[in-house]
Amino acid sequence: MLKRTITIVTLISFIFYLYGCYSSEEIKQEQIHKYKEYEIKSVVTIEGEVLEFVSSKTHQPAYVTDSLIIGWIQKEEYPITLKKIQIPISQVKMVSINKFNLGTTCFVPLLIVGGIVALAAALKESCPFIYSFDGEKYMFDGEPYGGAICPALERADYCLLENLKPSNNLYLLQLTNEVDETQYTNEFKLWVVDHLKNTSVVPDVAGNLFTVSNPLEPIAATENGDDMLKWIKTKDLLLWESNTSSINVSDDSNLRDTISLSFPKPTNTDRVKLVVNGGTTLWGSQMLKRMTEIRGEHVDQWFKSLENPIIKSQLEFWNDREELYQLQVKVNSNDKWINKGEIWGGGPFITEDRVVLLDISDIKSDTLKIMVAPPKGFWTFNSFAVDYSDELPFKFQEISASKIIGDDGIDLKNVLEASDKSYYEMPKTGQRAYFTFPVPEFSPGYERSVFAKVSGYYDIHMNKTGEPQSELIRRIAFEPGFPIKYSLQEFSKWITEIKKGTASN
Strand blocks (E) in 288-335: 326-333
Distance CA 467, CA 52 (A): 51
Q: Are 8 and 94 in contact (CB under 8 A)?
A: yes
Q: Where are the domains of the chain?
A: 7-119, 129-196+395-460, 200-391+469-500
pLDDT for position 237: 82
Q: How many degrees, rounded to 5, is the angle at CA 126 between CA 121 and CA 130?
A: 95
Residue 103: what pLDDT?
40
What does R_g of the chain's alpha carbons equal in angstroms? Answer: 23
Query: Residues 306, 309, 310, 315: is their CA dihedral positive or negative?
Result: positive
DSSP string, 326-372: EEEEEEEETTEEEEEEEEEP--SSS-EEEEEEEE-TT--SSEEEEEE
98 Cβ partners below 8 Å, 6+ apart? 39, 41
Identify which of 278, 288, 333 has the alpha carbon closest to the alpha carbon of residue 315.
288
pLDDT number for residue 295 = 97
* pLDDT given for residue 97 in this prediction: 63
How far apart CA 436 and CA 345 sit, in angstroms, is 29
| pLDDT the model gives residue 346 | 85
DSSP 420: S
- CA–CA separation, 380 vs 285, rounded Å? 12
Phi-psi region of 38 (alpha: psi -120 to 50; beta: other; left: phi over 0): alpha
Q: Which of 434, 437, 388 is nearest to 411 (CA)?
A: 434
* Backbone phi and psi for residue 235, each to the nearest 5 degrees, phi listed first: -80, 110
DSSP-based three-state secondary structure for 152:
helix
- The CATH architecture that domain 200-391+469-500 belongs to is Sandwich (2.60)
Whole-angstrom CA distances from 88 to 38, 70, 82, 85, 342 are 18, 9, 19, 10, 38
Burial class of 255 by CB neighbour count within 10 A (0 to 12, 13 to 18, 19+): buried
Give the other-Cβ count within 10 Å of 127's Cβ: 30
Cα separation of 256 and 447, whole Å?
Answer: 40
Q: From its phi and psi, is residue 334 left (phi > 0), alpha (psi between -120 and 50) or beta?
A: left
Of residues 347, 249, 330, the one with CA closest to residue 6: 347
Q: What is the mean pLDDT of each run of 10 residues along the chain (505 residues)?
A: 40 29 32 49 84 74 78 76 84 66 36 36 65 90 92 96 96 92 97 97 97 97 94 90 73 87 95 96 87 96 97 96 97 96 88 96 95 95 97 97 94 96 93 97 95 96 95 96 93 72 54
Q: Identify the helix (H) or strand (E) that includes residue 315.
A: helix 309-322
From residue 381, give the alpha-carbon distance in Å to each of 84, 155, 261, 263, 276: 31, 22, 13, 17, 8
